[in-house]
Amino acid sequence: MKEIFMVAGGPSLAGFDWKRLANKDCFAINRSYEVLPNAKFIYFADCDFFERHKAGLLAHSGQICTGYAKNICKKQIVHPDVLEFKLTGADGLDTTNPGIRHGRNGGFAAINAAYHLGYRRMYLLGYDMGRIGKATHWHNGHPRIDPVSIYTTMMKHYANLVEPAKKAGVEIINLNPESNLKLFPFMDEYEAIGDKRPAPKVQLDI
């Protein structure tokens, strides 16, 4: 079964050692492309993201992906290096290529896109659906600070993804046990990645 690591922007990834994913198929959501030079795919949802990150995106070796629907997006990205999926609604999993559901969340849309790209096991990293302290992302400089209520809205859409994903034979596994997104089974990230957990630091009494 083809598997891929879906890397979103949640604050739980602050301090993550990105080299651990160097030999894995990765789908970078938004600015995760900056720390994943090996990412096979990049997904962005906001219409202005491409303009703000155009140079970095086009210099990356991964396939750039986005979604478009006239009634949702202010602007269509027309570029030969950008793979565009048709946005066909908010909920579920669209198995009709090239349609994807957006869930009002780039990470949700990327799951739909990964399905069309042939992946059937998806490991979620940074799908926190919440803040850690005041942090909303693992990176700084996010242009928009969403209210906490936005996560409740997003999770309602994820709830409508569970059954369609099962029906389509898609395994979605969350690697952050502290995530508020508890609709999918959890798995230890070290087991999923296949590397060793670092030994705990020993504090000596002096």
What does the alpha-carbon distance between residue 180 and residue 182 come to, in Å, rounded to a whole number? 6
Q: In 3D, which of 50, 11, 12 has the Cα closest to residue 30?
A: 50
Kindly tell me if the per-residue pLDDT of 137 is higher than 90.
no
pTM for the full model?
Answer: 0.90
pLDDT (0 to 100) of residue 176: 95
Kindly tell me if the per-residue pLDDT of 10 is higher than 70.
yes
What is the CATH T-level fold of the domain 3-193, as seen in this structure? sialyltransferase cstii, chain A (3.90.1480)
- Which tens digits make up the pLDDT trace of 170-188? 999 999 999 999 999 999 9
Mean pLDDT estimate for the chain: 90
What does the alpha-carbon distance between residue 151 and residue 58 come to, in Å, rounded to a whole number? 30
pLDDT (0 to 100) of residue 205: 67
> What Rg value do the Cα atoms of the chain yield, rounded?
17
What does the alpha-carbon distance between residue 36 and residue 102 come to, in Å, rounded to a whole number? 23
User: Where is pLDDT greater, at 54 or 206?
Assistant: 54
pLDDT (0 to 100) of residue 145: 63
Kindly tell me if the per-residue pLDDT of 143 is higher than 60.
no
**For 140, what's the count of Cα atoms within 13 Å in the CB-facing half-sphere?**
0
